[in-house]
Structure 1
Amino acid sequence: MSVELTGLTDRIAVVTGAGRMRSIGRAVAVELARAGCDVVQTGTGRHPDRYPDDEKAAGWRDVDSVADEVRALGRRALPVVCDVATPEGAEELLTAVLAEFGRVDVVVNNAAASRGADRVPVTELDVEVWDHVIAVNLRGTFLMSRAFGRRLIEQGEGGSIINISSIGGKLSGPRTAAYSASKAGVQSLTSSMAKELGSHRIRVNAVCPGVTATGRLDDWSPDAWAAYVTANLPLGRVGTAQEVASTVVFLASDQAAWITGQSWNVDGGQLTVR
């Protein structure tokens, strides 16, 4: 007997950080559309010169391309360029969503700072780099949750907020202090919000991906990643963005109606006890 996920048809979902071709955000937006949601997808408005080679070759158009995929599944789409790390950006996004759809049901806080200059020891970490990672990963999640949480309370019909964290927030490895601290903060924020919003039938959960096949793996060679996977992942392979997205869709569905305040690892078994 198959289990059908319910409760997502004609719901309005917002997915931040959904403009990259090889990304969790894109997969989440598409899978929510496949489950029946109309989807708002946000991006930072990257200039095409900053696109990686595979996006350039594909004629990729950031959030507009993802919106096309959502519409191809028969759902409505709204691509928005905004900075969710600012109060103005989060509020302007909420205004745009309500103007287009009149309501919101599911919020997926996926926007995150790219790997880069933050991957150094704390003693060598620039304050500006630290501030940027915390601003996008943690402050942005807070600002989005505050703005859209208020709207969900006002609507009085429940809802779901799903924060994309990382097992990095639990591993707290060397040379990842800013990223790990930001993602641990997202998990703590998730727990507090779940306790605050539960009486409004608003569920708040986090998904913690491990090594996932997205553009974020481009800073290591395939051989280096293969060695890491062999040493650390019991299932012996990198995960896919679609596998992470499937977990998000489940958590947004009626079948997860009694799940809140959790930070689920989706990581091939790298972490098994937390």
Structure 2
Amino acid sequence: MPEVRRVLVTGASRGIGRSVARAFAARGDRVAVHYATRRSDAEETLRLLAGDGHALVPGDLGEPEAAPAIVEAAVRALGGVDVLVNNAALAPAPGNRHPVQETSYADWRLAWRRMTDVNLLGAADLTYCVARHLIERGAPGRVVNIGSRGAHRGEPDFPAYGASKAALHAFGQSMALALAPHRIAVTSVAPGFVATERQAAKVSGPEGEALRRQSPFGRVGTPEEVAAAVLHLASPEAEWSSGAVLDLNGASHLRS
């Protein structure tokens, strides 16, 4: 039987986060399902998890005091945290589109502050809290960041999103160096377009064919494929991958 780990998955109310939570639970791990505002969706995630001993943990990562409270709640509910998955993010949407040539300065600043606060600073604060928890326990651990293909190819309509994800990748590599002496491995995944619930209308609508053509496989990615990669990177066998940024985009964007 594999060792049961305690896993905190942020932004787990739906989409990639829900699939990641389900993958860990199916392995036999106990999961803290974090959410910001979608409590009913988070409760559905909790209902879908195999096994027992899981928990709901609320908190808005855009608030500076949220991370310590989230980690404390997860530690209290699970008895500790061994794996952190930084998935929560403010994703591109019509309401936060901010191309430089069309956006007022006030809206530009708002988009940058909010996306940076959640996507980068929230993840950094959570990593700090979980790392200190692991170091104090003298226990090994794993941190997996959910980045984006947009960090590498650019996001002209959502530059704050692309920049925040690029910074998240770089932050993960810095933490890989800092935390390796404590047997804490830190990695990132960089998904391309993924067919989550939020993207269902795009996939089935007029944009769907163009999205599928981005990859030579002729399709888009699935949340389960991202979850499988996260599960591997969080495993004991993946310690030597620490510092890696794994592309998960079906060859839709290649880096040299």
The one of 12, 31, 34 equivalent to 2:6 is 12
Letter in 1 for 2:13: G
The one of 27, 37, 41 equivalent to 1:45 is 37
Distance 1:225 1:138 in 2: 29
Equivalent residue, structure 2, for 1:124 = 102
Judged with a 3 Å threshold, the aligned counterparts in structure 2 of structure 1 residues 36 and 244 are, in CA distance, closer, same or farther, namely: same
TM-fit CA distance, 1:219: 6.4
The one of 252, 265, 272 equivalent to 2:234 is 252
Cα RMSD of the aligned pairs, angstroms, is: 1.7
Judged with a 3 Å threshold, the aligned counterparts in structure 2 of structure 1 residues 101 and 27 are, in CA distance, closer, same or farther, namely: same
Matches within 5 A, 1:224-243: 224-230=207-213, 232-243=214-225
How many matched pairs? 250
Contact 1:35 1:249 in 2 (8 A): no
Judged with a 3 Å threshold, the aligned counterparts in structure 2 of structure 1 residues 200 and 215 are, in CA distance, closer, same or farther, namely: same
Contact 1:165 1:183 in 2 (8 A): yes
Equivalent residue, structure 2, for 1:3 = none
Does 1:134 find its partner at 2:116? yes
Matches within 5 A, 1:257-268: 257-268=239-250
Letter in 2 for 1:105: D
Contact 1:118 1:175 in 2 (8 A): no
Does 1:189 find its partner at 2:181? no
TM-fit CA distance, 1:69: 1.5
Cα displacement string for residues 114-143 of structure 1 (whole angstroms, at most 9, x for unaligned residues): 322332312434111221111111111111
Letter in 1 for 2:54: A
Distance 2:34 2:207 in 1: 32
Identity of aligned residues (%): 37
TM-score normalized by structure 2?
0.92
The one of 36, 59, 78 equivalent to 1:101 is 78
Equivalent residue, structure 1, for 2:193 = 211
Distance 1:33 1:62 in 2: 17
Distance 1:206 1:150 in 2: 20
Equivalent residue, structure 1, for 2:205 = 222
- The structure 1 segments of at least 4 consecutive aligned residues displaced by more than 6 Å after TM superposition are none
Structure 1: segments with no counterpart, 5+ residues: 1-5, 48-60
Cα displacement string for residues 7-35 of structure 1 (whole angstroms, at most 9, x for unaligned residues): 5x310000000112xx0000000001111
